[in-house]
A and B are shown apart, each in its own frame.
Chain A
Amino acid sequence: MKKTNPLTVADIVMIAAIAVTAVCLFVFFAVKDVSSSGTQDGILTITVDGESYASYPLNEDKVIEIGDTNVCEIHDGRAYMKSADCPDQSCVHSLPIDSDGEVIVCLPNKVVLEVSEEKKSDDGIDSVAY
């Protein structure tokens, strides 16, 4: 009886195809990770009174009106509150945000701007006490 070769040509082609796919996937995810830790890949999420309002990528300049009360702007990969009708204006005075987990809050109008995505702030600070 002829001994069957355990590896036929078709097998080798299949193994090669799978290996190529694996390498491609690996490269794809590696590149994706690198790019998401770059400077302008954050997402700005806006919530009003706990409800999700809208999300925008930080890499496109944009002015966003949030209802009738607040206006937020994305410029140069950073987001800030351009104006608000609240009495204390502390949201307008907050520094622009661009790193994962940073927030600007307008308490009177219950508006929260939050940056998400993998991106460490330069100083490596996890949280700020105030």
Chain B
Amino acid sequence: MKNVLNAGCAKKTARENALFKNRISKTIILLSAAACTMLTGCGSLNTGKDGASRTGLYFDTTVTIQIYDENAEELLDGCFDLCDELEDILSAQESSSELYKVNHRKTSKVEISDDLADCIAMGLEAGEISDGEFDITIFPVSELWDFRSGEGRVPAEAGIKEALRHVDRTGIRLIRDEEKNTEDTGAILEINDDEAMIDLGAVAKGYISERIKEYLKDEGCKGAVINLGGNVSTLGVKPDGSDYKVGVQKPFTDRGEIETVISMGEGCVISSGTYERCFSVDGVLYHHILSAKTGYPADTGLTQVTIIGDDDMLCDTLSTVGVLLGKDRMEALTEDKGYKVKLLFTDDKGNITFFDPDSGERIVTEGETLKVSISDR
């Protein structure tokens, strides 16, 4: 621009030159005024408008993603495409899904994708660490209870006993890449009981939010809050630089009543509880977290276990394991394994215990709202 103007000047007379200078000064004034207008206008438009949020229904639950980034809409498209893709693999209900096909297999050996293999591996590990209280093959029993329908019927004891015969994680063998001797990625799954079926209810949501987080990180997303059916996962920082505040719902209350507030940077807060997918018959509460040893809902005196950490899939799985094991065994387990997690228990009397296995810090309250900061800043 500047060069063109100078070249033009050289060919003009003095008078023309003066007029031209005048015109330049006018142009400069006009341009700076226009810039001024644009700056004030755009500046205001941007305040507080540095992100977007979207809600969708996937995996039989609600997925809400809030993104703090200029490319929020584009990133949201990518996140929900990923949800579509993973639902096609991990849904136990959709008859087109990979898991459904595995559960309705014709042969004892099936080839599976890496996504499915990762989830099954986590599920098998949870079986090990919980000493068989948790079992990834609980599906035939959970189908009998049918907590999803909302009808609320206690199955016949004989039926539960019969279904339990097919619950045995030790009959499953997962053969990963290195042993498999084939070129393709993925793994081979060997199941010795034809009636055995896999339930990824305790694992899949954590795996999915972890994958969404990975995708957002790869895309350079500045900040995000993912709520996948109650599993909260945070990424990066908020636009104002403050910590994320994650509330934990008080069991058996309307959603929105908070019993614990956690201030944190990047990480996840994942709860499991006896107040989700449950029903009462004759004053007895039946909930969806089933002991693989009895085939009945776990009764460990806890109504909720929340795991705070940074590995979504591990935390998701551990929250279910926590309800199954109870407070003391769960604390011992996390200390023993050295998991980088913090634990939050609510018992059936409403007492809340926060426990950090790493530092040994313990906070106990009786019903009042607990505020915990785990931000490392």
Contacts and interface: CB of A to CB of B under 8 A. Distances in A.
A124 B57 contact: no
A50 interface: yes
B261 interface: yes
Interface stretch (B13-21, B92-100, B177-185): B13-21
- Which 6 residue pairs are nearest across A and B when measured between Cβ atoms? A29-B44, A18-B33, A130-B230, A88-B150, A130-B249, A26-B40
A22 B37 contact: yes
A85 to B, nearest CB: 12
Contact of A30 (B26, B33, B44): B44
Given A110-B57, A114-B55, A129-B271, 10 more contacts: A6-B22, A25-B44, A29-B43, A86-B150, A100-B53, A103-B55, A125-B245, A126-B245, A129-B269, A130-B249
Nearest to B28: A6
Contacts of B21: 4, 6
Contact of B26 (A11, A118, A124): A11
Given A22-B40, A95-B254, A1 B18 contact: yes
B54 to A, nearest CB: 9
Contacts of B56: 50
Nearest to A10: B26
Contacts of B37: 18, 21-22, 25
A130 B203 CA distance: 15
Contacts of B47: 33
Interface residues of B, number: 59
Contacts of B230: 128-130
A26 B45 CA distance: 10
B62 interface: yes
Contacts of B283: none
Nearest to B271: A129
Interface of B: 14-15, 18-19, 21-22, 25-26, 29-30, 33-34, 36-37, 40-41, 43-45, 47-49, 53, 55-57, 60-62, 64, 66, 149-151, 225, 227, 230-232, 234, 238, 244-249, 254-258, 261, 269-271, 273, 276, 306
Contacts of A103: 55, 62, 64
A37 B48 CA distance: 9
A116 interface: yes
Interface in A73-130: 86-88, 93-95, 100-103, 105, 107-108, 110, 112, 114, 116, 118, 123-130
B208 to A, nearest CB: 15
A14 interface: yes
Nearest to A23: B40
